[in-house]
Homo-oligomer: A and B are copies of this chain.
Amino acid sequence: MCRVQSLSPTEYLEHNYERLVRELCAYIRFPSVSAQPQHAKDLAACAQWVVDHCKKIGLDARLCKTEGNPIVLAKTPRKAGSKKPHYVVYGHYDVQPPEPFELWKTPPFEPRIEGDSLFARGSSDNKGQNFAHLSAVEAYLKTGTELPCDITFLIEGEEEVGSKSLDGFLRANKKELACEAFVISDTGMPSLKHPALTYALRGIISAEIILHGPSRDLHSGIYGGTVDNPAMALAQLLAQLRDKNGKIAIPGFYYDVESLSAYERKEMAKMPMTEKQYQQFMGVPKLFGEKGYTFIEQRSARPTIEINGLTSGYQGEGSKTIVPAWARAKLTFRLVPNQKPDKIRKAVLKRIAELCPPTVRLEMKVGHGGEPYIVSPKSDIAQAALRTLKAAFGCEPMLMREGGSIPIVTQFKNVIGADSLLLGLALPDDNAHSPNEKFSLDAFKKGMRMGALLWPELAKLKRK
């Protein structure tokens, strides 16, 4: 690992590939399961390993204490008053619980290579993906190639349990973390031939409705027919929230929705999956979504209403002849760019209150909210990312929207004021959060190359 002045960073990565895989395996061996208290020591040891590794490759690294698991901060060496653009690469060293163990072909924390795949918990989510970036920067530092950007790695240990300490950390280190943008490889791409930039995420609001009827479960024979059945009242209320075309029937709900551009729809249509394949994957007799949109658009670029749970009356085997005292629905709405969670929440609650009949008492509980997120796919930074993907993977990249929410992206935007480039390296069959998680070594190779090619591209951009 001496400096090899004659190699370019990408050549360095090729020459050192096998060692880098071995180092990634060492990283993966830590059972850094943040959800399980018995792994506290493993998380601490893993964080220390990351710091040591960062130091070894030439970064100024330190372990930052938080109220939870420590955060690793590692910076490329920089001169005082550096004029280079500053980017922060985000990652996380904690992993999902490995259970159920019996479904793993080999132990989750003993990395196993089979064909192109590296099997282990955390291999894809997120150690492998993040390690590609670390290795790319190592390639600059070890070949003595000047990095055209200042780079800071922010690697946390609580991503799988809600990143509880991150917000405080961002606020406390706001100045040090001020940057052009965050670079995150923690999402997916459709295939190795379809590298992707994820440029938009959906937001969310959640709510709980409880309709209270009689003061106790009633005998449906003695009293049935004289009071409204809260479960029926709930069904009739919920039924009115979505029309037969899959549209959300709440006044004002679509008012702020940013419509999809022709460019975006064309890009989304490149997704290598047919409706039939998707239907079979979902296991449904027939797909259903908002009329006028493809399933790709429906699941990522259009807002939704979902009932996440229904509870009322008797839940066991057989029948119990009661009029239940109450009925509950848990709801979430996915929001798309330009919709405001607070505004939508108000519209939702207002409509529910209007629809509630006078025969039951309405109780509403408001849950968490998350803003939708978008970086214009035609922006300079998005285009720079697309050029990088094309060069690294040797094929046309895709523009993707993600249907879920990534709360840290909103935090980066709100606290630091910077956008995020989401350059996911996970493949659809990587089994993130499931048994037999794996990471494609080809994706690792190309991901490192992407990491190396990214900095010159980003350095060309006009500064914020």
> Do residues B226 and A334 form an inter-chain contact, with CB atoms below 8 A?
no
Contact among B227, B240, B242, B313 for A282, CB-based, below 8 A: B227
Question: Do A321 and B299 form a contact, CB below 8 Å, given A204-B221, A221-B204, A285-B358?
Answer: no
B284, B287, B288, B308: the one within 8 Å of A322 (CB): B308
Contact stretch, chosen from A98-106, A116-124, A150-158, A228-236:
A228-236
Bound-state Cα–Cα, A73 to B321, Å: 32
Give the contacting residue for A220; candidates B227, B304, B314; CB below 8 A: B304
Nearest chain-B residue to A336 (Cβ)? B225
Chain B residues lying within 8 Å of A7, measured Cβ to Cβ, are none
Interface 9-residue window, one of A126-134, A211-219, A379-387, A446-454? A211-219
- B221 adjacent to A307 (CB under 8 Å): no
Query: Smallest CB–CB gap between A234 and chain B, Å?
Result: 7
Cβ distance A159 to chain B, nearest Cβ, rounded Å: 16
A330 within 8 A of B: yes
Across the two chains, which residue of chain B brings its CB closest to A239?
B239
Q: How many copies does the complex hold?
A: 2
For residue A232, which residues in chain B have a CB less than 8 angstroms away from its CB?
238-239, 241-242, 305-307
Roughly how many angstroms separate A295 CA and B226 CA in the complex, as a whole number?
A: 5
Chain B residues with CB below 8 A from A404, complex form: 219, 221-222
Residues in B with CB closer than 8 Å to A307 are 229, 231-232, 235, 312-313, 324, 327
Note all chain B residues with C-beta closer than 8 A to A288: 226-228, 357, 359
User: Do A299 and B214 touch (CB < 8 A)?
Assistant: no
Q: How many chain A residues touch B (Cβ–Cβ < 8 Å)? A: 81
Interface mask (A255-299 → B, CB under 8 Å = 1, otherwise 0): 000000000000000000000001000111111111000010011
| Residues on B with beta carbons closer than 8 Å to the beta carbon of A238 | 231-232, 235-236, 239
Residues of B within 8 A of A231 (CB): 238, 307-310, 329
Which of B289, B309, B324, B360 has a CB less than 8 Å from the CB of A315?
Answer: B309
- The answer, yes or no, to whether A79 is at the interface (CB within 8 Å) is no
Whole-angstrom distance between the Cβ of A119 and the nearest chain B Cβ: 22
A367 at the interface (CB under 8 A from B): yes
A109 to B375, CA, bound (A): 75
Q: Residue on B with the closest CB to A208?
A: B319
Chain A 179-193 interface residues, beta-carbon cutoff 8 Å to B: none
Contact partners of A405 in chain B: CB under 8 A: 221
* Contact yes or no, B306 A224, CB < 8 A: yes
For the complex, what is the distance from the CA of A212 to the CA of B402, rounded to whole Å? 26
Within 8 Å of chain B (Cβ to Cβ): is A32? no
CA distance A45 to B238 in the complex (A): 55
Task: Report A351 CB to chain B, min CB distance, Å.
Answer: 15
Pairs of residues from A and B, 4 with the lowest C-beta to C-beta distance, nearest first: A215-B283, A221-B404, A231-B307, A239-B239
Query: Assuming A214-B283, A226-B282, A318-B367, what are 12 further A-B pairs, CB within 8 angstroms?
Result: A214-B282, A220-B334, A221-B403, A224-B334, A226-B288, A226-B299, A229-B307, A231-B307, A235-B310, A286-B359, A288-B359, A308-B324
